[in-house]
Amino acid sequence: MGKQAMQSVVDDWVEAYKQDRNVALLDLINFFIQCSGCQGMVTAEMFQSLHKKDVMQKMTENFDEESGLQYKKFIAYPWILTVTWPVDVGNEDYPLIRTGPYWKKFKANFCEFIAVLVQQCQCSILYDSYLMDTIISLLTGLADSMVRAFRHTSTLAAMKLLTAVLSVRLNLDVNKHNAQRLYEVEKKRISGKRTSYRLDQLERKRKEYEHKLLEIQNMMNAIFKGTFLNRYRDVIPEVRATCIEEIGRWIETYPDAFLNDSYLKYIGWMLYDKQAEVRLKCLLGLQGIYSRKEFVSRMDLFTIRFKDRIVSMPLDKDHEVAVQAMKLLMLMSQNCEDVLSAEDCETLYQFVYTTHRPLAVAAGEFLYKRLLSHEGDEEVQPKGGGKFGASTDQLKRLIRFFLDSKLHKHVAYLIDSLWDWAGKFLKDWECMTTLLLKNAEEDGEELNDAYQSALIEIILATVREAAEGHPPVGRGAAKKILSVKEKKIQLEDCTKITEHFIMVLPRLLAKYSTDAQKVANLLQIPQYYDLDVYSTGHLEKHLDALLREMKDIVAKHSDMSVLEVSSRTYYVLCSEEIAIYSQVNRALSQLIDELMGQLNQLLDGFWQKAEGFCTDAGEISRMQSLLRRVAAFHNAHDLTKWNLCDKTLRLLVFEMEHGSLPVLIIVPALQCTYFSLLWQVVAVSENSPKETLFALGREMRRFSQICMHFLHHKDKDVKEKAFLILCDWLLILSHQDANNNEEAVGLLDYLPSTSLQEKLLLFIQENVFMGEEEESKDLTEEEERKDESCKLDNLREKRSLLAAYCKLIAYNVVEMTAAAEIYKYYVKTYNDFGDIIKETLSKTRHNNKIQSTKTLIICLQQLFQAHAESHDSSGGLDFFSASFANMKELARRFSLTFGWDPVKSRESVAMIHKEGIEFAFQGANGVHGKCLPPNLSFLLIISEFSNKLLKPDKRLVYAYLQRYVAEPLPCRGDEWQPLISYRNSLLANEDEESSVLGSSGEWSPVSTSKTPSFKRKLSNGSLPETSRTEATKKAPEPQCASQLASAAGKSRKRLKSQEMHLQEHLPFLCPGGLRGRDCKDEIKTEDVSEEGQAEDTAEDVDVDVVGADQDS
């Protein structure tokens, strides 16, 4: 509805009110009731006597059992209203909380209607002492209802009504002020005369305004005291949020009346509310207040009282609340002098490193405006000033802040947080490189080593941010889609980066060529170039300078970080689509020729020795450096034509046969061989001859055997590297397509044998889960720090090993059942490896739900058997032992992985119970398992999954359990307690729960009157004897089952389709698919009756105890 249409409707109602106010008011009352979602009716009777004693007795709210209606009586003076509505109006489905654009527009129109109503009535009937009294009484009465639909709607209406009345109050203040001024002017003008008609007229006008203001004030007080004070602590968070939102608006709109501690305290108190929505409204209201400097001076007491709470709120678990808290602190910092201490600011600065980008950006604004752009501190101004004086000052402040942040070293996160606020000086790469190229002898000032390293990291982070245009990894779910304007800025920045660093980067590399960390960062900058600038700008000479420096760096350094970055940069520059390809490719070939020449020379000398291999330390070091360089380049470049594979394979075979090869050479030799074989696999084409394929297949199998051999190497680094390479090797080979060459796929296909799978699993168990725990020693602080660093490095290596193996499970390279051995350590190693194991479980479940479930069962069964074997000597299982408690906790964690929708996991959970029951009664002696089964305690383990069963499935599981314990059993002993506990878990929330044990101490079977009837038959179609006897005693009952719908309210159609799907895969839920020992009967699934559905879906009326959480 448009504004004009709404004004027309209100005008029509005002005219109707002037003709017959009682009828019009009844229409308005019905309007408010119907906006609450109530489809009932309202009746009214006039309240004639103020002294009627039974008035308060009439103010009731009850449920009429005979008519099935709810009704409420209350005063809306001079009326006594009776509202009657169906019982289902109290549920959680009424207009104000419904979702969708229609209901969002409804709420906006509802609020707009109240504002227009007051606006259109302010010059006529607003002050007739009848309209507003009735509306306020109505809304106050409804706001006290226990039905949340009434309470929520009336509270919103009352708050909006006070806001509308407040706007009228402001207009009256202006009119009264103008009238007072005119009165003073007129009084001075006719001071010599006794009377004046104009003066009397202005006096009457002024008094009229005062009278209206008094009435408006009474209305405001009635609404505030009658509704706000009762509802700002309502049990419904939406009601509390509405109250706080409006009081914030009142304070900002009319500070003369509301900007004092009597009203501010309500916002302060609700900053501690449990619901994020309410806390958010508090912060938004305070932002409007603190943004105006004229208000801040009147909030000293509030600021002192609640500052600590606001400072702590950026740590709020709700992201939006944390962001708005940081923005509020920014406003407080700007408009309140010294309100934040240095410790507060240091704490808030650290939020620039948070992973939630909106909060980090808000913290970046706080950091930039509070610290970086502050002009008072001149202690780091560069000598001589110059054109980079301001940027230099800001850069040094930023570097000092980064170096002082001992907890965080993520410069990419810092730059991303500041990008929206400090983008101008962060893109001043000319200033940054000038600082790096300064020499102390020439310029008299040079950055120290720490500042230089930090500045180079900042340069790299700014270049990456400008060139990629999206946040760093870990901050933001995905790469954002750039707008046309952002794309244009990105291209301009790339061109600016290229044009500047093409000339400057060779000089920087030359200056810092000996520092591995600085060089590794600087060498990444060309990866963000617009490489066409080299040819279009005729800057090939600068490319030659860059290639010379890179070649010198490769010759100087053997650090893998430098070598890998160099290899990657060569790969980016050596793209066939750009004009400089031939120049870069020629330089790369020359570099590889030199490296391979030196390597061949060393290898020839080594093999010519009589003893087979030289052990000279100097030459071993040279060999290691050359192999590391070649391996780094072989990772990104195809070096097959240099025939490296044969040379490195010979080294590895020599180590297998003699075991005297230095460890420093084995690891890079393994890498070189691995990369060489991968390039050969990639090069396989449709026309590859069979001889080539057979030769490649032999080399692949030979290399796999070498890696298997090195799994038992004495050196830790060698066997871990062999394991990682072998896992990646198996993963790649099992998923390669050999360029659509089916024959090549058949020849090169390599799946791990059973023995290899066992070796891989054994390696994980020995090197990841069974590491020796070091005894605690008395260490100094420095030694403790080093020891902690070593432990972290060791943990990182173990996580890499486990992740490599879990990928083989997730992608079906090894048998999924191998995951059972991994799952055993889920609880024990949750802090270190829980995320990897949980992701593996998720992937396997996505691949094959049934097989993944069987793996969980196998895991629990193996743990139970190990526990039982360890307690055989003690004469029984200990339910209170640590190992049994760990099994139950593991089962509980497994059950949590099935999520909240039991329909999706129905098949899997049912299988767990089926397999668990069979395992529990495995090996039982006697008829129908009357002798104690040895694995009966396993029922306690699978009872952790009972809460994931749908109600019909619980009954089916219970019926299946009855097959093994068909007759009543004596259960006074503790040995049968697992069976009783498991049965109770299946009958939870059922009518049978009250009769778990019979009066004689025996386990009484479920009464047919309280449980669904299960049709039983033998394979020949006849009833068993027990069922035949029951059939003669009782007539067949109609089938009934409770609702199959999940907690999310899934439809019956979906569930029926689920049952049909289950009958195909899960014999437990279909006839004839599952048979107990010595039991020939079958179970039939039941259809869901409408009666059962109605019984389970019926909900109580959603009635809240108003003010239940209020303090006295």
Give tens-digit pLDDT for 1052-1108: 333 344 444 444 444 443 333 333 333 333 333 333 333 333 334 333 333 333 333
State how far the Cα of 678 lies from the Cα of 709, in Å rounded to an integer: 20
Q: Out of 443-452, 474-483, 859-868, pick the least confident.
A: 474-483
Averaged pLDDT for residues 419-446: 83
pLDDT for the residue numbered 1056: 40
* pLDDT category of residue 444 using cuts at 50, 70 and 90: low
Tokens 């109050």 sit on residue: 169
Q: Out of 212-226, 235-249, 434-448, 1031-1045, pick the least confident.
A: 1031-1045
Asked whether the predicted pLDDT for residue 222 surpasses 70, the reply is yes
817-855 residue pLDDT tens: 999 999 999 999 999 999 999 999 999 999 999 999 999
Residues in contact with 308: Cβ distance below 8 Å, sequence separation at least 6, in sequence order: none
pLDDT for the residue numbered 1017: 32
**Is 967 or 752 the better-scoring residue by pLDDT?**
752
174-189 residue pLDDT tens: 988 888 888 888 777 7
Cβ–Cβ under 8 Å, residues 887 and 941: yes
* pLDDT category of residue 745 using cuts at 50, 70 and 90: low
Asked whether the predicted pLDDT for residue 526 surpasses 80, the reply is yes
Quickly list H helices, 525-640.
Answer: 532-536, 540-556, 560-573, 581-607, 617-636
DSSP assignment of 607-651, as one string? HTSTTSS---HHHHHHHHHHHHHHHHHHHHS--GGG-HHHHHHHH
Asked whether the predicted pLDDT for residue 988 surpasses 60, the reply is yes
Residues in contact with 165: Cβ distance below 8 Å, sequence separation at least 6, in sequence order: 118, 216, 219, 220, 223
Averaged pLDDT for residues 346-369: 94
* pLDDT category of residue 1021 using cuts at 50, 70 and 90: very low
- Report the side by side order of strands in the sheet with 41-46: 41-46, 79-86, 69-76, 61-64
Asked whether the predicted pLDDT for residue 963 surpasses 70, the reply is yes
Q: Residue 814 region, left (φ>0) first, then alpha (ψ -120 to 50), else beta? A: beta
The dihedral over CA atoms of 510, 512, 516, 517, expressed in degrees to the nearest 10, equals: -130
Quickly list H helices, 254-356.
Answer: 255-258, 261-270, 276-290, 293-296, 300-312, 319-335, 342-349
pLDDT for the residue numbered 692: 81
* pLDDT category of residue 628 using cuts at 50, 70 and 90: very high
Q: Which of 1080, 636, 239 is nearest to 247 (CA)?
A: 239
Residue 78, preceding peptide bond in cis (omega within 30° of 0): yes
Averaged pLDDT for residues 872-886: 71
**Is 778 or 554 the better-scoring residue by pLDDT?**
554
Asked whether the predicted pLDDT for residue 711 surpasses 50, the reply is yes
* pLDDT category of residue 498 using cuts at 50, 70 and 90: very high
State how far the Cα of 499 lies from the Cα of 532, in Å rounded to an integer: 11
How many helices and strands, by DSSP H and E, does the chain display? 47, 4
Cβ–Cβ under 8 Å, residues 424 and 368: no
pLDDT for the residue numbered 1010: 36
Averaged pLDDT for residues 969-990: 75
Asked whether the predicted pLDDT for residue 776 surpasses 70, the reply is no
Cα four-point dihedral sign 586, 592, 595, 601: negative
State how far the Cα of 998 lies from the Cα of 1072, in Å rounded to an integer: 32
Rounded percentage of the chain residues whose pLDDT exceeds 90: 47
pLDDT for the residue numbered 927: 43
Q: Out of 89-98, 145-154, 595-604, 763-772, pick the least confident.
A: 89-98
* pLDDT category of residue 619 using cuts at 50, 70 and 90: confident
pLDDT for the residue numbered 1046: 34
Asked whether the predicted pLDDT for residue 377 surpasses 70, the reply is no
**Residue 965 vs residues 592, 606, 616, 914, 960: alpha-carbon distances, Å:** 77, 77, 77, 15, 9
* pLDDT category of residue 129 using cuts at 50, 70 and 90: confident
Asked whether the predicted pLDDT for residue 615 surpasses 90, the reply is no
Residues in contact with 808: Cβ distance below 8 Å, sequence separation at least 6, in sequence order: 727, 730, 731, 752, 760, 814
- The pTM assigned to this predicted structure is 0.78
Per-residue b or e along 532-566, where b marks 16 or more CB atoms closer than 10 Å to that residue's CB: ebbeeeebeebbebbbebbbebbeebbbbebbbbb
- Enter the tokens of residue 382: 């560069």
Instruction: Give the single-character DSSP code of 950.
Output: -
**Residue 33 vs residues 39, 254, 924, 1099: alpha-carbon distances, Å:** 8, 31, 67, 23
> Under DSSP, is residue 877 helix (H, G, I), strand (E, B) or coil?
coil
Q: For the chain, what is the mean pLDDT?
A: 80
> Under DSSP, is residue 770 helix (H, G, I), strand (E, B) or coil?
coil
Asked whether the predicted pLDDT for residue 154 surpasses 90, the reply is yes
State how far the Cα of 918 lies from the Cα of 942, in Å rounded to an integer: 11
Asked whether the predicted pLDDT for residue 1016 surpasses 70, the reply is no
**Is 1057 or 895 the better-scoring residue by pLDDT?**
895
Of 591-600, 693-702, 776-785, which one has max mean pLDDT?
591-600
* pLDDT category of residue 215 using cuts at 50, 70 and 90: very high
**Is 973 or 456 the better-scoring residue by pLDDT?**
456
Q: Out of 173-182, 463-472, 796-805, 1074-1083, pick the least confident.
A: 1074-1083
pLDDT for the residue numbered 473: 87
